[in-house]
Structures are given as C-alpha cells and as structure tokens.
Amino acid sequence: MVDGESLGQIGPGLVVFVGISREDDEADADYIVSKIVNLRIFSDEGGRFNLSALDIEAQLLVISQFTLYADTRKGRRPSFTDAGLPEDAAKLFDVTLGKFKQTGLAVETGRFQTHMLVSIENDGPVTIMLDSEDRNQPHRG
C-alpha cells in the first residue's frame, strides 16, 4: 500500500524482497530470478519440499528493499553504503522485474523508492535469504 493505494496483491506464492548492491549487475539478476522460481520450497502431496514456484504457478510480489544491505557491525545506526545508488538500483530492479515476468508467473510489485506498507501472511512460515554472491562461493561438503 502506497499513499492509501493498493499497488500489488497476490494469492498463493512468494513475497520477494530484492536488495541491490553497488556491485550487482544483470548476471546477479539472472541468478536470483532463476534460483527463486526453481527453488523447491513448496510441499508436494507427501508434505515434502519438492515443488518450485514454476511447478505450482505461484504468484510473486517483488519489492525493492535497500535496507537488506544494512551494515550493523559498527555503532548503533545502520549504514547503507553497500546498497546500490538509487538511479542504478532502479534500473537493475526493473531488469529483474522483467526477468521474473519472462518466467510466465504472475508478478506484482510496489513502487521503487517509496514508503510502502506491506502485509504478509506466511503459510509455514518459510523465509529464505538468497544472495547472488553465493554463486561465487565454493559448496560446503
């Protein structure tokens, strides 16, 4: 909800908060979109995480969230210096939205760089943090 106006609303699916760093580019968007829509986090008939957003034709509410890049290591006020500059982040967020839409899933969003009231009803709850930087890290094991 922005200024009393409901901008995006979904049924069963995922709320995706997207944080964009100063270092992110289109390859990061490709990785995140592919990972999110293919991650098997929905239950099958047996109650096991076996189905992806694509499998269940999930709806997506994709919201830009620069505060995901809050650095709280020093002091008591978070620093957001790692977050992408607004003009760069807006462009990459739009690219990311386009990539989500190309998956064929229903995609809703809010309004970039605007105070939003977001209501979420978690069914689970399952909350998973993904970072495109992880694709450059060795696998554990």
The answer to whether residue 67 is catalytic is yes
For residues 9, 13, 18, 23, the Cα torsion angle rounded to the nearest 10 degrees is -140
**Helix 26-38 / helix 86-102 crossing angle, nearest 10 deg:** 40
Q: Which of 67, 72, 103, 127 is catalytic?
A: 67
Fill in the amino acid letter for 51: L
Place of tokens 């790692």: 82
Q: Give me the active site residues, please.
A: 67
